[in-house]
Amino acid sequence: IDMENMDDTSGSSFEDMGEMHQRMKEEEEEEADGEAGAGDEEDGEFLGMKGLRGQLGRQVADQMWQVGKRQASRAFSLYANIDILRPYFDVEPVQVRARLLESMIPVKMINFPQKIAGELYGPLMLVFTLVAILLHGMKTSDTIIREGTLMGTAIGTCFGYWLGVSSFMYFLAYLCNAQITMVQMLSLLGYGLFGHCITLFVTYNIHFHSLFYIFWLVVGGLSTLRMVAVLVSRTVGHTQRLILCGTLAALHMLFLLYLHFAYHKVVEGILDTLEGPNMPPFQRVARDIPVVSNAVLNTTAKAIALTL
C-alpha cells in the first residue's frame, strides 16, 4: 500500500510538475507574442514615417525635375530662336562689299523684279556706322559736350529711322501690291544708308555747304535711285509706283538733310531740357558790412537834423 501510495503521489507530483512547466511555456509564448506585437507596431510606425519621408522626397525630386525641364525647354527655345535668325546674318565679307557697291549703282530693269539680298548683317553694321559718324560730328562741331544722352539719341535716331521707315514702307508696299517682304525692305533701306554714311563722314570733316550739297545730290541721289529702281521693278501700276517711290525718295533725302543741319540743334535742345541750360554758376559778392552801417547812420543823422 505504501508503495502504491508513493507511486500515486509521485505520479501526481510529476503531473503537477508537467502542468506547471506547460503553464510556464504558455506564459513565455504569450509574452513573446506580446513583445512581437509591440515590435510590429513600432515597425509599422517607423515604416509609416519612412513612407511619408519617401513621398516628400519624391515630390521634391518631381518639382526639381519640372523646374529643370522648364529651364531646358526655355534654353532650347532661345537657341531655336537664335537659330532662326542665323540665316539672316550668315554672309561673307566679300558679299557685303559687293552689295555696298551695288547700293550706289541704279539698275534700269523694270520688266523683271530685281533681286534683293535677304540678309541683315550689312544693314545693321551700316546703322552702327552711322551712329558712330553722328557722334564724331557732335564732337568735331561746336556742340558743348556734357554728361547727356548723346549715344542714346544717336542710336534712337538711326534705328528709329531704319525700323520705322522700313515698317511704314512695307505697309505702303502692301497697299500698293508690291512684291517685297519685311526683311527685304529692311535690307534695301539699310544698304541705302551707305550713301548717307559717305556724305556725312566727308562733310563733317570738311565744312563746306556747297560740298555737302554736291554729295547730297550725287551720293545720296545714287543710293536713293537704286532703291527706287528696285521698288519700281517690284510694283505694278503707274500710280502705285509714283506713290511708293516718291514717298521713299522724299523720306530718304530729307533724312540726310536733317542729319546734317538740324540734328545737332535738336540734340542740344534735348540736353538743355534734360540737364538745364549751360549757365555759369551764381556768384555771391561779399559786402562790406561796416561801410553799409556807416552809410545808414549818416543818412539817419542827416534826416534828423533836417527835421529839427
Residue pLDDT tens, the chain, 308 long:
444 444 444 444 444 555 665 667 666 666 655 555 545 444 555 455 556 666 777 777 777 777 777 776 665 665 666 667 778 888 898 999 999 999 998 887 777 788 888 889 999 999 999 999 998 887 766 555 554 467 888 899 999 999 999 999 999 999 998 989 999 999 999 999 999 999 999 988 887 888 999 999 999 999 999 999 999 999 988 999 999 999 999 999 999 999 988 887 777 777 667 655 544 443 434 444 444 445 545 665 555 555 55
Best CA proximity match to 189, nearest among 206, 209, 213, 166 = 166
Burial classification of residue 104, based on how many CB atoms lie within 10 Å of its CB (0-12 exposed, 13-18 middle, 19 or more buried)? middle
Give, in order, the Cα–Cα distances in Å from 107 to each of 25, 223, 273.
117, 11, 46
Cβ-contact 219, 198 below 8 angstroms: yes
Q: Residue 169 contacts by C-beta under 8 Å, 6 or more apart in sequence?
A: 185, 189, 244, 247, 248
Please state whether 148 falls in left (phi above 0), alpha (psi between -120 and 50) or beta. Answer: beta
Best CA proximity match to 104, nearest among 229, 223, 200 = 223
Q: For the chain, what are the domain ranges?
A: 126-274
Amino acid 258 reads Y
Tally the C-alpha atoms within 13 A of residue 41's C-alpha that lie toward its C-beta: 5
